Amino acid sequence: MLDSQHFLTKDGDLIDVNDEESYTIGDVIDEKRIINIKGTEVKIGIRIKINDKVLTTIEIDNKTTINIIRTLVQNIPESAHFYTLDNDKIERDEEEEFTVEDIINNEEINLKEEKENIPEINDITIGICLNGKPLIKKTIQQD
């Protein structure tokens, strides 16, 4: 049974998970021999952003693990990562350990897409030709 599901008494009252041991089957089974379970998840609308740009809005329970977000929102790039509220990067293999409530801020989840580090090239090599024949090759600074 999911954490967001709870047993109901015959009268329809919600049984707290911590109190389940004090109830018997007779307390929860009705005359039709049915045990009722109620889901208590609360879905909220969350904006999914990448680098502060809105990608989409989804409705999801705040107890959902964040790897499910990647399944629901399939256009999240592989290079985008979730971050905790303390701005710690969550690696892909750790996403099952975190829930929406661990990373949500003002009904938003902001992923950061990391661009590949391409070193800036400051030097340029040029060749100087005289009458179509290479004369010299020289490396100069771009600035």
Handedness of CA 14, 18, 19, 20 (dihedral sign): positive
* Mean pLDDT, range 6-15, rounded to an integer: 73
Specify whether the CB–CB gap between 40 and 5 falls below 8 A.
Answer: yes
Q: How confident is the model at residue 38 (pLDDT cuts 50, 70, 90)?
A: low
pLDDT at position 39:
62
Q: How confident is the model at residue 20 (pLDDT cuts 50, 70, 90)?
A: confident
CA distances from 105 to 101, 109, 110 (A): 8, 6, 8
Q: How does pLDDT run across 49-105, given as a tens digit for each residue?
A: 999 999 999 988 888 899 999 888 888 998 999 999 999 999 999 999 999 989 999
pLDDT at position 67:
92
Q: To which H or E segment does residue 29 belong? A: none
Which is more confident, 44 or 6? Answer: 44
Give yes or no for residue 119 having a pLDDT over 80.
no
Instruction: Please state, rounded to an integer, the average pLDDT across all residues of the chain.
Output: 80
Q: How does pLDDT run across 102-118, given as a tens digit for each residue?
A: 999 989 999 998 776 55
Specify whether the CB–CB gap between 79 and 113 falls below 8 A.
Answer: yes
Sequence ranges of the domains in the chain: 5-39, 43-113
Which is more confident, 3 or 85? Answer: 85
Domain range 43-113, CATH class: alpha beta
Cα distance between residue 103 and residue 88, in whole Å: 10
